Amino acid sequence: MARRSVILLALAMAACRAPAPAAAPAPPPSVLMITIDTLRADRVGAYGDAAARTPTIDALARAGVLFEAAYSAAPITLPSHATLLTGLLPPAHGVRGNGSFALGPEPRTLAEALKARGLRTAAFVGAFPLVRRFGLARGFDHYDDALERAPGLHFEFPERRADAVVGAARAWLETQPGPVFVWIHLYDPHAPHAPPEGFRGPDPYRGEIAFTDSALAPLLSTWDARPGASVVVLTADHGEAFGEHDEESHSLFVYDTTLRVPLVVRGPGVPAGRRVTEPVGLVDVAATVSDLAGATALPGTSLRTQWTPGSAAPAPLYAETLSPKLDFGWSDLRAWRDGRYKLIRAPRPELYDTAADPGETTNLIARETERARQMGAALDAALATDVASPQVADPETVERLRSLGYVQGPGGRGSGADPKDRTAVARRIAAAVGPFTGPEDVARTYRAIAALDPENPLVNFRLADALLRAGRGREAILLFRKVVDGGPRSADPFVGLATAYAQAGRLAEAKTVLERALTVDASNGQVHYNLGEIARIAGDRATAQRQYTAALEDPVTRARAQARLQEGGP
């Protein structure tokens, strides 16, 4: 008995010495990221706009940190969002424009990092530039890109109203009790500015913003009612110009009019009511979210360092727009911001003291030659690995763009002009989006613009496309030739030229053009199908079958190619 007591005592003492069971790790916080397309910071009440009707955004700002000087890396929807979701600048992730670029498989995305952390992931986007085929869906368990196309012939993107996007997101949230990462993209402030009833007034842009803010109220109410800790980030992809620097819309320049955006962060460890005045970039949002969520670090620096006392000085910021070159054949623009100074690389370079001259109206390039030289050298170093992504939108996307009446800028050579010298043309193009009564109306509109800028590939492409659709293929040939000879990155101009040749009975020339198209996009089903048609007409059964078989790989041409193959030959 005594021996048994000793054994029990020893066991009890051993148990006392044994470490206590480890506490279960705390669940990660949920994350809500809201991006409002085309939202200028200075049209938000929290940023000082007395005319703004943005109570939801303003309340969110009071509960977290507001960054007074946040800047996008590109005034274009897809490249800017690619930066937000990867923590990489456009020269690193390779997405340089809408429509003809897609994020490749290599960069790790924020959704992938948070999914690995244990969060369920979902995205709800409001416009065509962000649909799944452009590469941003990686890492999302659910990617809702259901959109509506406004009726008529025009060049506006399909979109979905803010209340519809929010409604879909709230419905999904009701099925997800655990930690989640939700990205909400609201497109409403983008042109055309036509706010719903109740939000109309003398400034339709502010009306669109007010409607968007109202749609956010039920979303945040649903979000804040969920159990557990959460992080909320609200920002925009870029701003909007209303005549500043003679620009309408965005993507033409890299002035702060279209680069400065709102940025608000709220969540555990984020001080309420703090305003950060130092310049920061959206390139660091992914690192900030992964930091706050305890996920694997992504490229960039967490903005926690900026709201922490004694933080280091912010790093220089890069921005670009390749749209003038890709769409219009003009010069691309690059910007380098270091402290209060900002250099813009252009055929006629610019340097601004943004603290003394926030409107960027006084070019200091002739007076500050040494500063400009040093900043230019830093920009060169940052661009040492500058590459344009070889990944392009899939053939189904290109065909869908055409069927919707939207033709992406083909890229290639143009005049190389400084965009500052082409603002009148840019304004005409920005206004020439429709609705149109038909192809002849498009042709009239773009013929007038072509008279102002005859080397512009986008203008020539849209004019040639309209002429072809109107059955005037012979007139379209010269314009398509000009675009094709400029070295486009899309097969679409080649298909247009070949179709025009075919309408004129010039099948041999059509075949040659289509064969050239395969050097640009070897997987384009429309090219293979058309080559099959030419071979069928010529009685070359083997070649026709080979081309139709290749066209089967493209979902756009699969049904037509299958029907030809089932016919059994020419």
Q: Quote the CA–CA distance of 237 and 259 in Å, as a whole number.
A: 8
Q: Is the dihedral of CA 40, 41, 46, 49 positive or negative?
A: negative
Q: Edge to edge, what strands does the sheet with 230-235 contain?
A: 142-144, 120-124, 180-186, 30-36, 230-235, 263-266, 65-67, 274-276
Q: Which amino acid is at 484?
A: V
Q: Quote the CA–CA distance of 554 and 550 in Å, as a whole number.
A: 8
Q: 544: which DSSP letter?
A: H
Q: What is the DSSP string of 338-399?
A: ETTEEEEESSS-EEEETTT-TT--S--TTT-HHHHHHHHHHHHHHTTT----S----HHHHH
Q: Are residues 425 and 288 in the same domain?
A: no
Residue 355 lies in a domain: no
Please tell me whether residue 217 adopts helix, strand or coil conformation.
helix
Q: Are residues 277 and 411 in the same domain?
A: no
| Contact predicate 239/260, CB 8 Å | yes
Residue 381 lies in a domain: no
User: Residue 537: which residues within 8 A CB-CB, separation 6 or more?
Assistant: 507, 570
Q: Are residues 296 and 407 in the same domain?
A: no
Residue 55 lies in a domain: yes
State the total domains in the chain. Answer: 2
Q: Are residues 125 and 253 in the same domain?
A: yes
Tell me the CB-side half-sphere exposure of residue 218, using CA atoms within 13 A.
Answer: 14
Q: What range defines the domain where residue 478 resides?
A: 395-567
Q: What are 47's two structure tokens?
A: 């940023």
Q: Collect the ranges in the chain with pLDDT lower than 50.
A: 1-16, 154, 389-409, 569-570
Residue 2 lies in a domain: no
Q: 109: which DSSP letter?
A: P
Q: Which amino acid is at 446?
A: Y
Instruction: Convert the pLDDT of each residue in 104-159 to its tens digit.
Output: 998 999 999 999 999 999 999 999 889 887 899 999 999 998 876 555 554 556 67
Q: Quote the CA–CA distance of 531 and 524 in Å, as a whole number.
A: 11
Residue 414: predicted pLDDT: 67
Task: Tell me the backbone φ, ψ of residue 75, rounded to 5 degrees.
Answer: -85, 45
Q: What is the DSSP string of 13-40?
A: HHHHHSPPPPPPPPPPPEEEEEEETT--
User: Residue 432: which residues within 8 A CB-CB, separation 6 or more?
Assistant: 155, 445, 446, 449
Instruction: Supply the CATH number for residue 217's domain.
Output: 3.40.720.10
Of the residues 282, 311, 340, the one at which a domain ends: 311
Q: How many CB atoms lie within 10 A of CB 1?
A: 5
Instruction: Supply the CATH number for residue 539's domain.
Output: 1.25.40.10
Residue 570: predicted pLDDT: 46
| Contact predicate 267/3, CB 8 Å | no
Q: Are residues 150 and 36 in the same domain?
A: yes
Q: Are residues 300 and 424 in the same domain?
A: no
Residue 323 lies in a domain: no
Residue 93 lies in a domain: no
3-state helix, strand, coil in the chain (%, to 5): 45, 15, 40
Please tell me whether residue 70 adopts helix, strand or coil conformation.
strand
Which class for 507: exposed (0-12), middle (13-18), buried (19 or more C-beta within 10 A)? middle
Q: Are residues 402 and 300 in the same domain?
A: no
Of the residues 253, 279, 311, the one at which a domain ends: 311
Cα dihedral 523, 524, 530, 536 in deg (nearest 10): 20
| Contact predicate 63/32, CB 8 Å | no
Instruction: Convert the pLDDT of each residue in 485-535 to its tens digit.
Output: 888 877 889 999 999 999 888 999 999 999 999 988 787 888 999 999 999
Residue 344 lies in a domain: no
User: Residue 270: which residues within 8 A CB-CB, separation 6 or more?
Assistant: 64, 65, 231, 292, 307
Best CA proximity match to 30, nearest among 285, 272, 228, 222: 228
In Å, how far are 115, 341, 345, 375 from 380, measured between CA atoms?
36, 17, 10, 9
| Contact predicate 207/216, CB 8 Å | no
- pTM equals 0.82
Q: Which amino acid is at 476?
A: A
Q: Which amino acid is at 512?
A: T
Q: Which amino acid is at 450?
A: A
Q: Quote the CA–CA distance of 386 and 254 in Å, as a whole number.
A: 18
Please tell me whether residue 72 adopts helix, strand or coil conformation.
coil
Residue 19 lies in a domain: no
Of the residues 311, 326, 341, the one at which a domain ends: 311
Q: Are residues 419 and 524 in the same domain?
A: yes
| Contact predicate 190/37, CB 8 Å | yes
